[in-house]
């Protein structure tokens, strides 16, 4: 027996009982399908390239390899950024110039030309969208990334397939075996029962959770768009096949798997069909499968929910599920504070996150490819008499530039007047006022807008976890209104912030005094500082401090001899942080200024990273 086969068998045995128990809990006595799954895992392991196994070994010896202060991510659309996969490979120098060592390529598998939800409607999990390249090119890109120490993240859209997927086509042709892989109903009886308890994801752009197929006179479950058919994980064949698909992708050299829309994967009548215990069974099984077959691979769960729903996806210390999750509430709360200039709710949100175990790794971000949903702690806001519906209206009015004095330019997403629950789209630069100031040619406003944008990035980089930049934000890319003219996209305002990367603007990062240069250099400087001081690592002790000013957020990070006092002014006026860290001199890492952490004057949208590195 080869050495690596021996390792495999040991791992397999270690997890066998738990794995089997989890599987049988979902699929009682399905020894046949369980055996098939185990065989497939073994097969995937045998197929795994030696170079990837070597990476697995290195990472297994240092299981916290992705933690700490070194990892910096960027998410991008392959076509928007560089046309295709080869284009991305040719642009890796730029990515490295951005200090990035982890790239999330937005969905790139084959999907229909029109109905594709930005690639989240996959029609073939084993084929790259021919417009973007081939599987071989993906493999080559992964290899090149690995040479440069860059990790590659890809989506695994497991909740649904496109209606053009082979299974969906065969189901439509009446093949029962394939209909059983989805949720099909002859009449509205059961669908209408589901509708009583299942909320809607896209209430305006795709209302309802079922779609009537007139050609075959059946209903099919479609939680997202009508062309995204929900997979039926109560059928073990679906789980097995989908695991086969993800392992196939992983073996191309993918380091991080983003499990798309994971809370939705298990459905049960009479429930919300969100976050059901069976979902956790499946995620835990996926973790076990990775530990056995490809221990260097990380799972990133996409759980865009309230904190009490997010955290369980980390699992427990003994039985972990995802390695990483999005810090979504912090992201939305940050934008809330940009509008209100009041950081108290953000301080409270940070206190919650900072009290979680340090092994819980969050992805921190200002913007992503989706909308901003106003999932704030409304119970907390209630103490100030702030109500959910009116506050959401205020935030949306502010960020679409309707509110008096607002500098932002965004657009509503899934505006549902009956619930008063619209969400929001827009790029970071446009939401910070850069777009408006340039358009109206207001120089002073532009300076504030740039400063706000930099401050927000600084704040993101101060949080424990992995910061992820949205491609284009590093050069202040603005909203792209072109989608209004595209009949297939114009209902979906998320395309507002999914515009083509503007390489002409990127060039201007080298021109002193340009908006791009100011942003690019400032953000880059902050990123480099973060990567140079271990106090930014996730093993630091982190807590907020009282600044006696509701516009200034104060954060302390402690690690070994290093203490960092970070201050952020969320208002457009100069203010003072009434802090009293009476322990001597600090150096502001950004300006090099020596200062005391006492009654610190902080300019409009200012940021300080004050470090003391001789702690007892
Ligand atoms: C995730 C994606 C989103 C997509 C949805 C359905 O939430 O981020 O863009 O629409 O899943 O796949």
On whether the CB atoms of residues 282 and 304 are closer than 8 A, the answer is no
CA distances (Å), origin 601, targets 177, 568, 578, 596? 69, 11, 9, 11
Is residue 118 lining ligand 1, measured as CB closer than 6 Å?
Answer: yes
Question: What element of type H or E holds 577?
Answer: strand 575-588
Comparing CA positions, the residue from 249, 217, 221, 219 lying closest to residue 233 is 221
Residue 534 alpha carbon to ligand 1 centre in Å: 34
Q: According to the model, what pLDDT value does residue 1 have?
A: 56
How far apart are the C-alpha atoms of 262 and 276, rounded to whole Å?
Answer: 10
Q: According to the model, what pLDDT value does residue 203 have?
A: 85
Residues ≥6 apart with Cβ < 8 Å to 425: 371, 372, 410, 411, 412, 413, 493, 494, 496, 497
Q: According to the model, what pLDDT value does residue 442 have?
A: 98
Q: According to the model, what pLDDT value does residue 479 have?
A: 98
Residue 143, class by beta-carbon neighbours within 10 Å (0-12 exposed, 13-18 middle, 19+ buried)?
middle
Is residue 539 lining ligand 1, measured as CB closer than 6 Å?
Answer: no
Tokens, residue 441 = 């040619």
Radius of gyration of the chain (CA): 24
For every residue of 203-228, DSSP letters joined together read: TTTS-SSEEEETTTTEEEE-SSSTTE
Q: According to the model, what pLDDT value does residue 206 have?
A: 87
Residue 256 alpha carbon to ligand 1 centre in Å: 17
∠ Cα 251 256 258 (to 5°): 110
Buried b (16+ CB within 10 A) or exposed e, 101-122: bbbbbbbbbbbbeebbbbbbbb
Question: What element of type H or E holds 448?
Answer: helix 443-462
**Order of strands across the sheet with 210-213?**
184-185, 218-221, 210-213
The DSSP code for 326 is E
Is residue 117 lining ligand 1, measured as CB closer than 6 Å?
Answer: yes
On whether the CB atoms of residues 301 and 275 are closer than 8 A, the answer is no
3-class DSSP state for residue 371? coil
Residue 482 alpha carbon to ligand 1 centre in Å: 21
Q: According to the model, what pLDDT value does residue 152 have?
A: 98
Is residue 370 lining ligand 1, measured as CB closer than 6 Å?
Answer: yes
Is residue 224 lining ligand 1, measured as CB closer than 6 Å?
Answer: yes
Residue 118 alpha carbon to ligand 1 centre in Å: 8
93 is catalytic: no
Q: Which residues of the chain have pLDDT under 70?
A: 1
Atom 8 in ligand 1: residue holding the nearest Cα = 370
Buried b (16+ CB within 10 A) or exposed e, 179-199: bbbbbbbeeeeebeebeeebe
Atom 12 in ligand 1: residue holding the nearest Cα = 120
How far apart are the C-alpha atoms of 4 and 10, rounded to whole Å?
Answer: 10
* Intra-chain end-to-end CA distance of the chain, in Å: 53
To test ligand 1's pocket by mutation, which of 119, 120, 156, 367 has the most ligand atoms within 8 angstroms of CB?
120
Residue whose structure tokens are 């993906």: 138
Q: Which of 56, 164, 260, 474 is catalytic?
A: 260
Q: What is the 3-state secondary structure (H, E, C) of 51-76?
A: HHHHHHHHHHHCCCCCCCCCCCEEEE
On whether the CB atoms of residues 399 and 339 are closer than 8 A, the answer is yes
Atom 9 in ligand 1: residue holding the nearest Cα = 370
Residue 6 alpha carbon to ligand 1 centre in Å: 40
Is residue 157 lining ligand 1, measured as CB closer than 6 Å?
Answer: yes
pTM, entire model: 0.97
166 is catalytic: no
Atom of ligand 1 nearest to the CA of 157: 12
* Torsion from C-alpha of 393, 395, 398, 404, nearest 10 degrees: 60
Buried b (16+ CB within 10 A) or exposed e, 423-432: bbbbbbbbbb
Q: According to the model, what pLDDT value does residue 317 have?
A: 87
On whether the CB atoms of residues 409 and 431 are closer than 8 A, the answer is yes
């Amino acid at each position: 027996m080869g050495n690596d086969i021996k390792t495999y068998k040991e791992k397999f045995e270690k997890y066998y009982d738990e794995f089997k128990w989890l599987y049988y809990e979902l699929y009682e006595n399905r020894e046949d399908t369980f055996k098939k799954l185990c065989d497939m895992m073994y097969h995937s392991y045998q197929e795994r390239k030696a170079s990837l196994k070597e990476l697995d070994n290195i990472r297994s010896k240092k299981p916290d390899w992705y933690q700490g202060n070194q990892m910096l991510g960027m998410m991008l659309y392959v076509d928007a950024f560089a046309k295709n996969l080869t284009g991305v490979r040719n642009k890796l120098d730029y990515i490295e110039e951005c200090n990035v060592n982890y790239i999330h390529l937005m969905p790139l598998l084959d999907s229909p030309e029109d109905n594709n939800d930005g690639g989240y409607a996959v029609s073939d999990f084993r084929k790259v969208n021919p417009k973007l390249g081939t599987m071989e090119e993906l493999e080559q890109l992964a290899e090149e990334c690995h040479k440069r120490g860059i990790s590659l993240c890809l989506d695994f859209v497991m909740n649904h397939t496109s209606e053009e997927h082979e299974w969906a086509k065969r189901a439509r042709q009446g093949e029962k075996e394939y209909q059983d892989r989805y949720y099909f109903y002859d009449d509205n009886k059961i669908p209408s029962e589901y509708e009583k308890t299942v909320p809607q994801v896209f209430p305006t752009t795709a209302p309802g959770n079922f779609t009537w197929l007139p050609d075959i006179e059946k209903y099919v479950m479609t939680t997202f768009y009508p062309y995204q058919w929900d997979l039926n994980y109560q059928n073990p064949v679906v789980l097995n096949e989908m695991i086969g698909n993800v392992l196939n992708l992983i073996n191309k050299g993918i380091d991080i798997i983003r499990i798309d829309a994971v809370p939705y994967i298990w459905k049960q009548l009479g429930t919300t069909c969100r976050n059901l215990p069976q979902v956790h069974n499946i995620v835990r099984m996926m973790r076990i499968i990775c530990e056995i077959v490809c221990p260097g691979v990380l799972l990133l769960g996409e759980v865009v929910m309230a904190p009490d729903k997010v955290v369980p996806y980390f699992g427990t210390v003994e039985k972990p599920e995802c390695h990483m999750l999005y810090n979504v509430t912090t992201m939305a709360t940050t934008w809330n504070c940009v509008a209100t200039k009041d950081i108290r709710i953000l301080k409270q949100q940070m206190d919650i996150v900072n009290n979680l175990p340090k092994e819980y790794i969050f992805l921190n971000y200002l913007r992503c490819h989706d909308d901003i949903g106003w999932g704030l702690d409304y119970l907390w806001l209630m103490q100030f008499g702030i109500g959910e519906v009116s506050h959401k209206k205020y935030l949306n009015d502010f960020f679409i530039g309707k509110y008096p004095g607002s500098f932002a330019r965004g657009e509503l997403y899934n505006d549902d007047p009956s619930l008063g629950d619209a969400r929001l789209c827009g790029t970071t630069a446009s939401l910070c006022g850069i777009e408006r100031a340039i358009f109206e040619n207001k120089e002073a406003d532009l300076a504030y807008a740039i400063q706000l944008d930099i401050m927000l990035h600084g704040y993101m980089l101060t949080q424990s976890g992995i910061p992820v930049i949205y491609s284009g934000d590093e050069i202040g890319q603005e909203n792209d209104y072109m989608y209004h003219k595209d009949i297939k996209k114009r209902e979906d305002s998320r395309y507002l912030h999914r515009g083509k990367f503007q390489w002409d603007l990127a060039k201007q990062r080298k021109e002193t005094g340009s908006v791009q240069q100011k942003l690019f250099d400032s953000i880059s400087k902050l990123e480099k500082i973060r990567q140079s001081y271990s106090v930014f690592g996730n093993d630091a002790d982190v807590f907020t401090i009282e600044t006696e000013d509701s516009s200034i957020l104060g954060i302390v990070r402690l690690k070994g001899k290093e203490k960092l006092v970070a201050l952020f002014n969320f208002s457009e006026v100069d203010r003072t942080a009434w802090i009293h860290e009476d322990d001597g001199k600090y150096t502001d890492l950004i300006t090099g200024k020596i200062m005391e952490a006492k009654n610190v004057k902080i300019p409009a949208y200012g940021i300080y990273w004050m470090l003391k590195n001789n702690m007892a």
